[in-house]
Amino acid sequence: MTAPSGRAYLAIPGPSVIPDAVLQAMHRAAPNIYDGELVEMMPALVADLKYVARTDHQVAIYIGNGHAAWEAALANTVTPGDRVLVPATGRFAHGWADMAEGVGATAEILDFGKQSPWDMERVAAALRADTGHRIKAVLAVHVDTSTSILNDVPAMRALLDELGHPALLMADCIASLGCDRFEMDRWGVDVMVTGCQKGLMVPPGVAFVYFNDRAEAVRQSLPRVSRYWDWAPRAKPDLFFHYFGGTAPTHHLYGLRTALDMIKAEGIEAIWARHDRLARAIWAACDSWAAEGPLRLNVADPAHRSRAVTSLSLDPPQGTALREWVEGHLGLTLGIGLGMAEPGDYASHGHFRFGHMGHVNGQMIMGLLGGVEAGLTALEIPHGHGALEAAAAVLADMHP
Ligand SMILES: Cc1ncc(COP(=O)(O)O)c(C=O)c1O
């Protein structure tokens, strides 16, 4: 059931809300792919992609989703028989580990559960034990979208440096880029993967692999790299089609151009600050609801919470009931719980998520929170009072 009228709000953690300007930019006749505007727009597009990731290094573009970016990053850095270390704080780390196994590597998973960030002591022990430096890369998911845990990527760099371990630091910023602070060069990240469908506000279909000189040196040392996934021609193309390993994602490029214009106009620091404020408004509301009743934020410590996505729970089946109620009555779609319980397990009906990434502002978040308040009330789910006032107070504290 969907609410009959009014503008719906898809508050799932990706794909995210697409700005009208992006949709309008994509609504056009097929452009020429050999000459003219599309070809000419590429250098500035690449420069602006680097701006968002805070890097002066290189970026390769792929027609694909986040899984494509995972595969691409591995194809350029890892060969069969290599080891990768995967500190896991949710389902997506396990997903990337599985992709690594798929290209013939052995993934050593350090599982930190679903509610805590990386334990750097355990990571240190695993790296210290690797005296022969068989671990070629650390696959580090910055924000795991399933649990909404935010991990400390600079701490991972510091640890690798302290131990003198040469493994590449590869970060998954599919959920976090353009939402949570991320600074590729300052943080010493060697490879970063992301997609266009969350903080970049474009429909799913284009993915990016950023890499620095250390990572490129590793690629050059490999006996071979798959022609399709090879990042080198994509990052330094001789011909336009090299950017994409074939036909360009024509309309996505126009959408992305407009999204990057919006990002540059607002400024990446301001975007991080906006996401931070909106996330804090959400947490304030959740704390009020949680004061009397079953609602819980998945991550207890705000320092380890993402500003892009929030994972929550109620007593099953209230999570599912709440999602269905707000979607059917209000046109508000919340995210399902992902990876918090086994598929088919009754417990999965307790988990749900808010997406608050990309094209979001205060009135949307107040609408989201007001909708949840209405749903909790309608379903007679016990909850503390004052949630909307608490959220409004966070938003009210804005400087002009
Ligand atoms: C952190 C993270 N990594 C990887 C993926 C996989 O991306 P995709 O579903 O676009 O293949 C997602 C998707 O939500 C994600 O959130």
- Nearest atom in ligand 1 to the alpha carbon of residue 65 is 10
Residue pair 307/299 in contact by the 8 Å Cβ criterion: no
The whole-number average pLDDT for the span 13-41 is 97
Tokens 């910023």 -> residue: 173
Mutation test residue for ligand 1: of 71, 74, 91, 92, the one with most atoms within 8 Å of CB: 92
Residues 151 and 119: beta-carbon distance below 8 Å: no
Q: What is the mean pLDDT of the chain?
A: 97
Kindly indicate the confidence band of residue 1, based on its pLDDT and cuts at 50, 70 and 90: low
Residues of the chain above pLDDT 70, percent: 98
Q: Find out whether the beta carbon of 175 lies less than 6 Å from any atom of ligand 1.
A: yes
Q: Ramachandran region of residue 6, left (φ > 0), alpha (ψ -120 to 50) or beta?
A: left
Residue 24 has pLDDT above 80, yes or no: yes
Residue of the CA atom closest to atom 8 of ligand 1: 66
Predicted confidence at residue 343, as pLDDT, reads 84
Residue 339 exposed, middle or buried by CB count within 10 Å (0-12, 13-18, 19+)? buried
Out of 143, 174, 197, 309, mutate this one to test ligand 1's pocket (max ligand atoms within 8 Å of CB): namely 174
Q: Which atom of ligand 1 is nearest to the CA of 195?
A: 10
Of 162, 156, 185, the C-alpha closest to 52 is 185
What pLDDT does residue 399 have?
65
Ligand 1 centre distance from Cα of residue 308 (Å)? 13
Calpha distance 183→83 (Å, rounded)? 26
* pLDDT tens column, 163-180: 999 999 999 999 999 999
Task: Kindly state the average pLDDT of the residues 365-389.
Answer: 98
Q: What share of the chain is helix, strand, coil (3-state, %, to 5)?
A: 45, 15, 40
pTM: predicted TM-score of the whole model, two decimal places? 0.98
pLDDT tens digit string along 308-354? 999 999 999 999 999 999 999 999 999 999 999 988 899 999 999 99
C-alpha–C-alpha distance, residues 25 and 258, integer Å: 7
Residue 91 beta carbon below 6 angstroms from any ligand 1 atom? no
377, two tokens: 């009330």
Q: What is the pLDDT of residue 30?
A: 96
Is residue 174 within 6 Å of ligand 1 at its C-beta? yes
Cα atoms in the Cβ-side hemisphere of radius 13 Å centred on 311:
28
Take atom 6 of ligand 1 and give the residue whose Cα is closest: 66
Cβ of 66 closer than 6 Å to ligand 1, yes or no, is yes
State the pLDDT at residue 223: 96
Angle between helices 362-378 and 318-330 (to 10 degrees): 120
DSSP structural state of residue 348: G
Tell me the two tokens of residue 175. Answer: 């959920």
Tell me, using a 6 A CB cutoff, whether residue 72 lines ligand 1.
no
Query: Over the stretch 117-160, which tens digit does the pLDDT of each residue have?
Result: 999 999 999 999 999 999 999 999 999 999 999 999 999 999 99
The terminus-to-terminus CA distance of the chain in angstroms comes to: 41
How far apart are the CA of 267 and the centre of ligand 1, in A?
Answer: 25
User: What string of DSSP letters covers 264-312?
Assistant: HHH-HHHHHHHHHHHHHHHHHHHHHHHTTSS-EES-SSGGGB-SSEEEE
> Is the CB–ligand 1 distance for residue 177 below 6 Å?
no
Please give the pLDDT value at position 400.
Answer: 57
Give me ligand 1 centre to Cα 78, in Å.
20
CA 139, distance to chain mean position in Å, is 14
pLDDT tens digits, one per residue of 55-111: 999 999 999 999 999 999 999 999 999 999 999 999 999 999 999 999 999 999 999
Confidence of residue 2 (pLDDT cuts 50, 70, 90): low
CB of 348 within 6 A of ligand 1: the answer is no
Q: What is the CA radius of gyration of the chain?
A: 21
